[in-house]
Amino acid sequence: LCDRRQRQMCIRDRYTSVFWSVAYGDYNVNKQQGKQYAFDKVTARLHPGAVLLLHAVSKDNTAALGEIIDWAREQGYVFKALTEYQG
């Protein structure tokens, strides 16, 4: 989370704050739990307008990402750049 000072700096410098809505403890490289675990965690939490936070250090995410994207598209989800998103 950010504090008041950080929010004021973002406003002053015309930055947009974006917070994720789907995340799990994938950043811990010593606690990887496999491709299926990553797939299950992400797909169970996916929802319209979701902003995904997936850490590149996760071997689980690397292994599951293609299947996550394919599954999401099959469900009707569309991936967009944050600049295209109008929540």
Looking at residue 84, the DSSP 8-state letter turns out to be G
Interatomic CA distance for residues 10 and 64, integer angstroms: 34
2 closest CA partner among 15, 14, 19: 19
62 CB neighbour count, 10 Å cutoff: 14
Which residues, 6+ apart, have CB-to-CB distance to 77 below 8 Å? 46, 48
> What are 9-67's pLDDT values in tens digits?
988 998 888 888 888 889 999 999 999 999 999 999 999 989 889 999 999 999 999 99
Q: pTM (2 decimals)? A: 0.79
